[in-house]
Amino acid sequence: MKAGTRVLGAAVLFAGSFVALRVSFLAPETCPAPGAPALEDAAVAAGTWVQRGERDGRYVYEYDRGDDRMTEGYNIVRHAGVTMSLYQLVRAGHGEVLETADAGLAEMLDHVVEAGDGLAYVDNDTRASLGSSALLAAALAQRRAATGDGSFDAELRAVGRFLRGQMTPSGQMLSRYDLVEGAPVPDETSKYYTGEAAWALALLHNLFPTEGWDRPARQVLDYLATRRDEVEDLDYRPWADQWAAYTLAELAPHGLAEHHVAYARALAERFGMLVRTESQKGSWPVAFIDARARGGGIGVWLEGLGSLSTVAKRDPRLVDLREPLVDRLECGAGILAERQEDEADAAEWPDPELVEGAWFRENVTRMDDQQHALSGLLLAAGRLGPVGS
């Protein structure tokens, strides 16, 4: 090989390596800092978007502003999640969305059936979903914490019993219940539903601390912290599970085991890396390579970081993470608030009411974009904590 060729090859390799490093590590971050009041305002605007689209207890599922068209179809797990987030907004002092949340709750309670030792929220006649039932329980718990109204305590406990019945001896949660056979569907799991169920059980414990809900909650959390990612062969471990982070926050006031603390550290690193990467996407050449995350995706990261920040404030073993978690939380929240569509943005589209307050990617928004963003922004604004606090 000629010397000139070797030099050229080395230069190309160096240039390629530099670009790769700049793209992945060295690109500068852009972190807007609007402040807590502006973050709370953004959360309220997201809730108002949901409120404007509610009809007969259902929400706008997906909207394409380019075609000015609502997508057909619906997802009851996401419906339950949106309702839960509206009750979080009520907890933060915004009672104007209570009526909308209660309409969404009524829609869910119209579709609960007896399953196992309790009640499950279903959308068909043959199977019940762990995820939809877990988020129904979370919605009921958030409502009770927001209003002090115990009218639905019987339903909340009954859904909790259904969740508990889906747990295996290892703490793994089975994601479906066969209503025809009258038993959980074996060997079927979901990377989302297990964390949702753990959080719902932890919420039940904090609302009813003498009833033993902490035992199944901790058993599922143990599984999440030590075995889930390997047993269920999840990629990018630890999987960025904000529901597990919520669970850690609910149980932190009662004390966490060492493996829970180690799990919290791993999750903090994962969520922090995701926010850092997103904060670099406005920089050249990253802006030409990576698509921006959905509003719901960033909201999930904020839910995780906000919950872990609560854990770090409670547990002295995580004191070194307190400032880094706040830094990442504020950075991600600033990015999210900056990308929200405001009144001026919305006026440029055919249906401004379905644009203002939402987050779009490729001109499409879905109701869980607003759900996760709303919850994450409230956590970043310091407006949410464990229901027992």
pLDDT digits (tens, 9 = 90+) for 299-357: 999 999 999 999 999 999 999 999 999 999 999 999 999 999 999 999 999 999 999 99
Of 6-15, 107-116, 320-329, minimum mean pLDDT range: 6-15
* φ/ψ (deg, to 5) at 338: -65, -30
pLDDT, tens digit, for every residue of 178-234? 999 999 999 999 999 999 999 999 999 999 999 999 999 999 999 999 999 999 999
Whole-angstrom Cα distance, residue 243 to residue 205? 16
Nearest to 47 by CA among 102, 100, 91: 100
Whole-angstrom Cα distance, residue 185 to residue 107? 26
Domain spans of the chain, in order of start:
31-380
pLDDT above 80 (res 161): yes
pLDDT at 124: 78
pLDDT at 10: 47
**26 pLDDT band (50/70/90 cuts)?**
low
pLDDT above 90 (res 137): yes
pLDDT, tens digit, for every residue of 76-86? 999 999 999 99
pTM for the full predicted model: 0.92
Residue 239: Cβ within 10 Å count: 17
- Domain 31-380 CATH assignment equals 1.50.10.10: yes
Average pLDDT over residues 40-66: 98
Q: Contact 363/64 with Cβ under 8 angstroms?
A: yes
Per DSSP, 358 falls in state -
Whole-angstrom Cα distance, residue 280 to residue 289? 11
E strands, the chain, are 62-64, 69-70, 112-115, 118-121, 127-129, 176-178, 183-184, 364-366
pLDDT at 216: 98
Whole-angstrom Cα distance, residue 303 to residue 375? 6
Q: Helix-strand-coil percent breakdown of the chain, rounded to 5?
A: 60, 5, 30
